[in-house]
Structure 1
Amino acid sequence: MKRTPLLFFLFLISIALIVNSCKKDNLSHIPGLLAGKWQIASIEVYNYVGDSKISTDVLDTTCTITQYFIFNSDNSCSYVNFQCNSDTTTGRWSLTANKLFLTSDMVCNDTTKSSGGTSKPFANAKIVTLGNYSLVLETGDVEPNYSATKKRRVMRYGFIRQKISSTQ
């Protein structure tokens, strides 16, 4: 008679363990953190040979128009005034399976190219920092394995989250 409550308790514990051990998919909070409007705060270019930094340049120091990168929850995105051009570029964004890289098919007008034209600046962007109020993306030669003698160029974009008012 006294074993019945003990068996019932062990049964409940085993059910709780089975339910709790089920694999849970899509637990990442990164897409939710990324969604929103981000204003550019800084653009720096790091030039390396191997892993030795040889120079740092700061871009857009004379730009007087505000640049925004906007991520929507439906995986669409837009960049307003890229490289200080008065235009808006749209595209799609996604995260890699490990959630460490942002990929975007957005094609922007790029005045930094010597021949002018366009570029896909965020085709493969490493997420360095992502929080409630700041986002740092690195693009360019961000592969983890590189030659010790190869020149590399990494562009680092720093963004600050902006509130989106109901009138925008």
Structure 2
Amino acid sequence: MYSIKSKLPVVIVLAFMLSGWFISSCNKGDEEQTISTFLTDRDGLWRLASLRVETLHGDTSKRRDTLNTNCVFNQSFTFKPDGTCTYEDFSCLDQTTNGTWELATTDSVIFRSNMVCKDTTVTGTGRPFAKAQVLNLGQNSLVLQVVRTDTLRKTPLVVLRRRISNYGFIR
């Protein structure tokens, strides 16, 4: 017959596993706080290092560009712990734009900002970070991806045009 002594190691291992699972399940709410801390520490200043834009028709890549390669301005994004933000010289235009920011962490980390910036499009202004996905965030790098989708044509089948902008920032 089995004695309690032979089952003791199994019980101890199960107790450790359950306590680890319990502790990790309680820390889920800290994820957004940690991401906010990464964005706002060291004065919250991030400088634009690269902007890569790709245009796709359906799943076919039509154009891939690296923008602002010869911009004379230092474009910078500043995040403050109170939920406000500032973008200087967006789209290589002499301007300072203010707004608010927030994070949503449902399936992925989504960054949202209400700032309206002047740009070089036909409309002349836009909300470039109304909904951006955080692709990478570390102590010294931040990559935001913005995807804009519209319908290119509907007949005979629907072809979607996507413009994917990857903003790479460094400290």
TM-score band w.r.t. shorter chain: 0.7 to 0.9
* Alignment map for 1:13-92 (pairs within 5 Å): 23-24=26-27, 26-28=29-31, 29-35=34-40, 36-92=44-100
CA deviations on 1:98-134 (whole Å, 9 max, x unpaired) are 2511000011111x21242x11000001111111111
- The gaps in structure 2 that reach 5 residues or longer are 1-14, 150-156
Considering fraction of residues, name the structure with more helix.
2
Distance (whole Å) between structure 2 residues aligned to residue 80 and residue 93 of structure 1: 15
CA deviations on 1:62-88 (whole Å, 9 max, x unpaired) are 211100000111111000111111121
> What displacement does 1:61 show?
1.6
> What displacement does 1:89 show?
0.5
> What displacement does 1:40 show?
0.4
CA deviations on 1:22-63 (whole Å, 9 max, x unpaired) are 834631111111111100001111011223322201111221
What's the C-alpha RMSD, in Å, of the aligned pairs? 2.9
Distance (whole Å) between structure 1 residues aligned to residue 27 and residue 138 of structure 2: 23
User: Among residues 124, 133, 136, which one is paired with 1:126 in the alignment?
Assistant: 133
Total equivalences in the alignment: 145
Identical residues among aligned pairs (%): 37
Equivalent residue for 1:155? 165
Q: What is the one-letter code of the residue matched to 1:88?
A: T
- The gaps in structure 1 that reach 5 residues or longer are 1-12, 162-168
> What displacement does 1:140 show?
2.9
Distance (whole Å) between structure 2 residues aligned to residue 79 and residue 132 of structure 1: 19
The yes-or-no answer on 1:107 pairing with 2:116 is: yes
Distance (whole Å) between structure 2 residues aligned to residue 93 and residue 51 of structure 1: 31
Equivalent residue for 2:146? 139
Relative to structure 1, the CA distance from residue 108 to residue 92 in structure 2 (aligned partners, 3 Å threshold; closer, same or farther) is: same
Distance (whole Å) between structure 2 residues aligned to residue 130 and residue 51 of structure 1: 27
Relative to structure 1, the CA distance from residue 115 to residue 103 in structure 2 (aligned partners, 3 Å threshold; closer, same or farther) is: closer
Q: What is the one-letter code of the residue matched to 1:48?
A: L
Which of structures 1 and 2 has the larger relative contact order (alpha carbons within 8 angstroms, sep 6+)?
1
Distance (whole Å) between structure 2 residues aligned to residue 25 and residue 138 of structure 1: 24
> What displacement does 1:96 show?
1.2
